[in-house]
Amino acid sequence: MILHAKDLGINPRIAMRWWKHYQETGRVACKKLQRHPGRLNSLAPEHEQRIQQIVEEGSQLCADDIIDSLKSQFEDLKILKPQIIYHLRNNILISIKKPTYNPMTRNSDNNLQTRSVWFMKWKGLDLGYTEN
């Protein structure tokens, strides 16, 4: 028995204790894992169908749009943004990223022209900024 335990990478004393327990009770000694599944899902199948429709309709989505649409259709629905993101990622297999917007003034024609003039001015000074 000790050789089999060592082959399986189990401490021989533990294997002997398991064997003794099996001989006395006839049951395999195992510890049942008690997992806490956490909070129950607050989204019903009709909510999931609505989410599927929203996803199919629009390609540019953010979590706030989905939450607003669900709350407008289902008044009694109380769901938070992290809950909907978790549900989308794990159950519907969609990942939604936070949208980032560039300010319009950054890429305006006037600003681009100003930067171009500034660059040409400094380029013409022949400063060796790559050399000491």
Task: Write the pLDDT tens digit of every residue in 23-42.
Answer: 998 887 776 667 766 677 77
Which pTM does this prediction carry? 0.46
| DSSP structure string for the chain | -HHHHHHHT--HHHHHHHHHHHHHHSS---PPP-----SPP---HHHHHHHHHHHHH-SS--HHHHHHHHHHH-TT----HHHHHHHHHHTS----PPP----TTTT-HHHHHHHHHHHHHHHHTT--TT--
Gap between the Cα atoms of 79 and 70, Å rounded: 9
**Tokens of residue 95, six digits:** 């990942």
Task: Write the pLDDT tens digit of every residue in 100-124.
Answer: 777 777 778 888 899 899 888 888 7
Domain assignments of the chain as residue spans, ordered by start:
1-30, 45-90
Q: What would you report as the CA-atom Rg of the chain, rounded to the nearest whole angstrom? A: 31
Say yes or no to pLDDT of 65 above 60.
yes
Question: Is residue 84 packed enough to be buried (19+ CB in 10 Å), middle (13-18) or exposed (0-12)?
Answer: buried
**Tokens of residue 75, six digits:** 């008044």
pLDDT of residue 33: 64
